[in-house]
Each structure stands twice: as structure tokens, then as C-alpha cells.
Amino acid sequence: MIPSAGHPQVLVLRDIGEVRAALKRARVSPGGTEIMEKKALFRVIRVTDLNIRAANILKQEMLSRGGEVAVSRDVYEWEGQKADCLVMGTIAQFERLLPKLRSQPFGLRPLAGRIEAALRNYDEAVPLCPSGIPLADGPLLMGILNVTPDSFSDGRAYSGVDEAVRAAMQMAEEGAAFIDVGGESTRPGSDPLSVEEELSRVMPVVEALAPALPGRVSVDTYKARVAADALAAGAYMINDISALRVDPEMVAVVRDAQCPVILMHMLGEPKTMQQEPVYTDVIEELHRFFVERLDWAVDNGLKEENLLIDPGLGFGKTTAHNVQIMRSLEAFRSLGRPIVVGASRKRFLGDILGIEEPKERDAATAATTVMAVTAGAHIVRVHRVGLNRDAARLAQAVFGPRPDAR
């Protein structure tokens, strides 16, 4: 009997490393591997508001290289001035396309640079960041320390500064790279807090904690005065849910301190953000938001390496929006900035699983940690550090960079 050919198998190849490993197992020569490795990875890039003439040129150039460009009907009917495109091809095809675009008019030259940056950022496991954020060590955990009586999850959990500091030290011992101290509840429907009241809650904890955990204290605030005083007391990072939009003095504070800043997306404000939030395309709109905020921050003197992004799960999003963000989280890698994810104990987890009590959502939170790490998130903000540390380590072991399989 003549043996039949081997059974066909669909390979899951996520990055160049996995492609090279597959080619090696197939006994492809080093020269052949170098030629073919970029032909095995397919990418789809969305380009919006492109000049209609540029869209026609882009389609023809990519078609001539074996790729494809899906365009809106306006391109064929020559209606309007702008078009949306989905550019589809292998990395090798994009590399042949970009030099040609750099010689074309109608805005294609700068577009080539942006496409190149998006592809590079997407495949870069460790984006540029301050030395105090060791992303090369794998996903980092940020422990949540709410020193507020009305937090949605752990209000009144700490009766005093000593208890709060003990809790923070315990989180650090369990593996938290950062402790995020928050003095104002930003749960849906909450009212703003005065600067004086927030300072009275936050500063005693920061002043006690910063010397014990140098370079590891973050402060969750959108108020410039709170940020300035906390940084002066030794805080390392500012986590601003408004992405520097609420307090006009905040940008100067973080610029002068040259500290890392988390820019979070929020639709509206905590008081009203959950009152029927609407998006046409939540992923595209968040992407546009981050492009605008990152550009604005750099234009106002902040170093790009100091900027992190957080899609703001639960901040002006329905359960469906939050699920879509988690499903498409890796899309934000193309922005080239560290991604922070905070799903811990959020209401959408309870809505999905029928769990009313926030503290009973820790297992669900661990599941979102696995999802976030798998998608390439860099920092995960959680209440239960030990549980999520193990979830993150497991996800990193399975889905993170790995040596060639034998």
C-alpha cells in the first residue's frame, strides 16, 4: 500500500518567532527562512478619512503586490472627498508597498510612515517606556488601594493609614509592581470630591508608603493639586481617568515632574457616564481618542515614553462595549504605548455571570487578566494581587515569547 500524504494542519502563527519555529521544524534552510518568514503573517490595517484619489492609488499599488484594499463605495462612484479603506496583505507585501507610497501625492507619503509605525508597534512586545517600568519582565500588576469610604468594591476597607499601608505592603509582597492609591470614588453616579478632601485621604498614605516602596506608588487622580503634592511626597506615577482633560494645570504638573502618566478613556464624567453610552464603533472611537490624546500630550511637552493608555473598561461603556474592548484589546498595540487594563470586579463581569457582590467577582477578574495578557497588555490593575499574579504568569507561559518548540 502506498502511504497517503500527511494530514493537513492549520497552524496558529502569531508572530515572527512562531513562524521561524515552524519553518525550522519543516527543515527550511536559513536562507529560505529569511525569504519566507514575512510571507506567513497577514495584517489588516484600517485607514479612515483618506483622500479619494489616494484611496484609488493605494488600492492599485497593493493589488499589484498581491494584496488587497477594500474601499468604501465613494471611491468607485467618485462621491465626496474622503474614503475609508481596509488594507490587507502579508508583512512582505506591506514592505514592498511602503516605498512606493512614499513617492505618491495626496497624503500617501505621511500615510506610509504611519502604516510602518503601526505594523512595527503591533509586533513590538516591549514599547519604549521609563526604566522604572520593567515591561521586559512580563506583564506587571498594579494593586488597587482605595482610601475612600464609597468605593464600589472596597469602600471603608481601611480604617486608617496604618491599615492601608499594611494592605499595600501585602500587595507588594504578592507581586504588585505598583500600588495605585485613590482617594475619590469614580464609580458610576458618583459626585466629584473637593481637592481638600481628596488630599486629606491620599496624602497621609502616600507620605507613609512612598519611602517604603520607592518608585512604585501611583496616584489615581485627575486634579493637578493632588498630583503635585503626591509627586512631591514621592509618588512615581499619575493615573488620570480624564486623560489630562479635566484640570488644565495637570499637564504642567506631570511635564515638570517628568513622571509616567496613564491616559484613560472615559465617555462623559463619572456622574453621568453610564447613562446610555453610545458608540458607532467603540474600538475605532477609542483608537481615535488615544491618537488625539497622545499627540496633544507630546505637543504640550510630555515625553512619549512617559505615556501609557487605558481603554477605561466600565467608564462610559455598556457590557457589550466592554466585551468588545476585551475581544479587540490587541488592536491598541499599534499605538506603540504600554496598555493598562482595569477590569477588576467591574459591574460588566457581574452582569455576564449574575454576580451582584463585587468581591465575589475575583475569579472572573482573573479570567480577564488571562485575556489581557494574551492580548499583549502590559499592566493589569487588580484588587487581589496574588490570584491575578498566578493568572498572569500562566498566560505569559502559554502565550508569551517562547523558545523554539522542539
H or E element: which one contains 169?
A: helix 161-173
- End-to-end Cα spacing for the chain: 31
Matching residue, cell 504642567: 252
> Is-contact 309 262, C-beta < 8 A?
yes
Q: Are residues 249 and 394 in the same domain?
A: yes
Is position 88 within any domain?
A: yes
- Is 381 marked active-site? yes
Is position 227 within any domain?
A: yes
Q: Are residues 187 and 327 in the same domain?
A: yes
Domain boundary at 89, 123, 157, which? Answer: 123
Record the pTM. Answer: 0.92
Q: Are residues 143 and 119 in the same domain?
A: no
Concatenated DSSP letters of 197-224: HHHHHHHHHHHHHTTTSTT-EEEE---H
**Burial class for 10, CB neighbours closer than 10 Å (0-12, 13-18, 19+):** exposed
Q: What letter represents residue 274's amino acid?
A: Q
Question: What is the model's pLDDT at position 238?
Answer: 98
Domain boundary at 96, 123, 150, which? Answer: 123
Q: Are residues 146 and 100 in the same domain?
A: no
Whether the pLDDT of residue 32 is over 90: the answer is: yes
Question: What is the tens place of the pLDDT at every residue in 118-147?
Answer: 999 999 988 999 989 999 888 999 999 999
Is position 22 within any domain?
A: no
CATH of the domain at 99: 3.30.1370
**Pairwise CA distance, residues 342 & 264, whole Å:** 10
**pLDDT tier, 345 (very low <50, low <70, confident <90, very high otherwise):** very high
If DSSP codes are grouped into helix, strand and coil, which group holds residue 56?
helix
- Is 59 marked active-site? no
**Pairwise CA distance, residues 73 & 83, whole Å:** 8
Range of lowest pLDDT (139-148, 180-189, 282-291, 392-401):
180-189
Q: Are residues 91 and 189 in the same domain?
A: no
Q: Are residues 64 and 188 in the same domain?
A: no
Question: What is the tens place of the pLDDT at every residue in 163-205?
Answer: 999 999 999 999 999 999 999 988 777 778 899 999 999 999 9
Residue 237 burial (CB count, 10 A): 28
**Domains: count for the chain:** 2
Is position 16 within any domain?
A: no
> Is-contact 181 202, C-beta < 8 A?
yes
Strands (DSSP E) contained in 196-352 are: 217-220, 237-240, 261-264, 307-310, 340-341
Catalytic residue among 187, 216, 337, 381: 381
Q: What letter represents residue 325's amino acid?
A: I
Closest residue by Cα to residue 189 from 315, 19, 324, 2: 315
**Pairwise CA distance, residues 112 & 100, whole Å:** 9
Is position 258 within any domain?
A: yes
Q: Are residues 330 and 192 in the same domain?
A: yes
Rg, Å, the chain Cα set: 23
Domain boundary at 90, 123, 156, which? Answer: 123
Question: What is the tens place of the pLDDT at every residue in 84-98?
Answer: 999 999 999 999 999
SS (H, E, C) 179-203: EEEECCCCCCCCCCCCHHHHHHHHH
Matching residue, cell 472596597: 154
Matching residue, cell 515625553: 303
Query: Which distant-in-sequence residues (6+ apart) come within 8 Å of 92 by Cβ?
Result: 38, 39
CATH of the domain at 204: 3.20.20.20
**Pairwise CA distance, residues 391 & 400, whole Å:** 13
> What's the mean pLDDT in 108-116?
97
Q: Are residues 102 and 225 in the same domain?
A: no
Q: Are residues 140 and 113 in the same domain?
A: no
Is position 3 within any domain?
A: no
- In the chain, pLDDT over 70 holds for what percent of residues? 94
Q: Are residues 107 and 193 in the same domain?
A: no
**Burial class for 4, CB neighbours closer than 10 Å (0-12, 13-18, 19+):** exposed
Catalytic residue among 59, 223, 346, 389: 346
**Pairwise CA distance, residues 112 & 94, whole Å:** 10
Residue 36: all three cell numbers together: 519566507
Domain that residue 87 falls in: 41-123
> Is-contact 168 213, C-beta < 8 A?
yes
**Pairwise CA distance, residues 59 & 63, whole Å:** 6
Q: Are residues 93 and 140 in the same domain?
A: no
Is position 5 within any domain?
A: no
Is position 338 within any domain?
A: yes
Q: What letter represents residue 393's amino acid?
A: R
Q: Are residues 268 and 142 in the same domain?
A: yes
